[in-house]
Amino acid sequence: MSSPKVIFGFHAVGVRIKTAPASVIEVLFDASRRDARMRQFITRAQEAGVRLVEADGLRLSKLSGSHGHQGVAARVQPITEKRTLDELLEDLEAAGTMPLLLVLDGVTDPHNLGACLRVADGAGAHAVIAPKDHAAGINATVAKVASGAAETVPYFMVTNLARTLNELKERNIWCVGTSDDAPGTLYQCELTRPLALVLGAEGEGMRQLTRKTCDELVSIPMAGAVESLNVSVASGVCLYEAMRQRSKP
């Protein structure tokens, strides 16, 4: 069995209790915090039958490795993602569902990854894909920032990102990359097809091979003084434009 891991924050712990209570070993909470949010959280945890342990702020900070725990942390068993990316895509195809994927190239900051997972969940993306090298993995900080989305959005780390993009293209998934110097904009792009949106880290952008592998490059129009957006904000702009286009009657 895999070693237990720690998640923290109301959203991350709350989503785990809601979606997989059997995986929760124990929930530690700050007994000195007696506000309505904490009372509601404890009630939900009790209703789910998870083990509750009183703890002080210092113990919670040491356990979570952060002062941003909000008075809540949990020791949990990792949930094994049984499906591979291929199996997920096959399931979508069998259900007649157009894939919407977010591909992140070189996003190493856990706060950015957590925010990307959160926006991917909100926009209904089916998965987030990243290379095994030069990318952040799922840890407690990612789970906290993702506000539960790290538990709901499949995150696939692949050995060779360019090869994975080519495999997506073989499945007729259109790979659209973002680039400041692209001739066309996001809003001119047809996003109602099977789609993978490819974004690079802020500053460096996509690696050259990733860029070359994309079917199409688009830019996000910038009307102000700044030249680019944070990758999680850019992900939100792209995913929600795809969502908007797909929701048209």
pLDDT at 2: 60
pTM of the model: 0.74
Using CA of residue 223, residue 226, residue 231, residue 236, what is the dihedral sign? negative
pLDDT tens across 162-215, in order? 999 999 999 999 999 999 889 899 999 999 999 999 999 877 789 999 999 999
What domains are there in the chain, each with its CATH number? 5-76 (3.30.1330.30), 85-246 (3.40.1280.10)
Q: In what order do the strands lie in the sheet with 155-158?
A: 155-158, 127-131, 100-105, 195-200, 174-178, 216-219, 184-185
Q: Which tokens belong to 193?
A: 């097809």
Do residues 165 and 103 make contact, with C-beta atoms less than 8 angstroms apart? yes
pLDDT tens across 76-112, in order? 987 765 579 999 999 899 899 999 999 999 899 999 9
Reported as a pLDDT band with limits 50, 70 and 90, residue 249 is low
